[in-house]
Amino acid sequence: MMSSVEFKPPEVSHAPQISRLVRETPKLDHNSEYIYALWCAYFARNSAVAVNGDEVLAFVTGFRSPASPEVYFLWQTAAKSRHGIPNLGVDLIQYAAEREIASGARIVEASVDAKNKPMTILMKTLCKRLGGDLETEVLFDSETLSANGTQHHEETLYRIRLRDRG
């Protein structure tokens, strides 16, 4: 089955499937379809999808801030449940990160709920694959992200500093 999966930048036509994957993935912050359409239009170069034909099996959205172009920030990622492809999520994120590294990124970051063990493991695996050192720190405390009577978890920043590949 892996031979029929293609990793590539997302297209605007992928936005509805990405939005649906987010809604179907526990613990991901849900955004409007408009956000995902914008992301696929304006940040496609920094993001990736795993597709089988027209079906989006997984996605990762990311960006590089003009203020810190050496940093590639992974914003959201999810995969369809029961897709049957070992390591699909980490392989897709590695694909996206390596494209960014090829164009000058030296740091890969993601914010993660400390209770999200699969994402914590994924970041540690990605760090090993990319040859980096992993650092963590609180990015946003719960108080900053909680509003209107809703409680949001603390976000921990996972930072992979790449070692020289020379």
> What percent of the chain is helix, strand and coil (3-state, nearest 5)?
35, 30, 30
pTM of the model: 0.88
Q: What's the pLDDT score for residue 101?
A: 97
The listed range with the strongest mean pLDDT (79-83, 85-89, 107-111) is 107-111
- At 67, give phi and psi (nearest 5°): -75, -25
Q: What's the pLDDT score for residue 119?
A: 86
Which whole number is the average pLDDT over 122-136? 95
Kind and range of the H or E element at 6?
Answer: strand 5-8
Which whole number is the average pLDDT over 105-117? 90
Range of the domain at 140: 2-162
Distance CA 138, CA 114 (A): 10
Distance CA 141, CA 148 (A): 16
Distance CA 40, CA 102 (A): 21
Q: What's the pLDDT score for residue 118?
A: 86
27 Cβ partners below 8 Å, 6+ apart?
A: 113, 116
Whether the CB-CB separation of 58 and 50 falls below 8 Å is answered with yes
**Domain harbouring 35, CATH code:** 3.40.630.30
Q: What's the pLDDT score for residue 165?
A: 63
Q: What is the pLDDT of residues 40-82, one digit of tens each?
A: 999 999 999 999 999 999 999 999 999 999 999 999 999 998 8
Sequence-ordered strand ranges (E) for 40-147 = 48-52, 55-63, 71-79, 107-113, 132-140
How many distinct structural domains can be found in the chain?
1
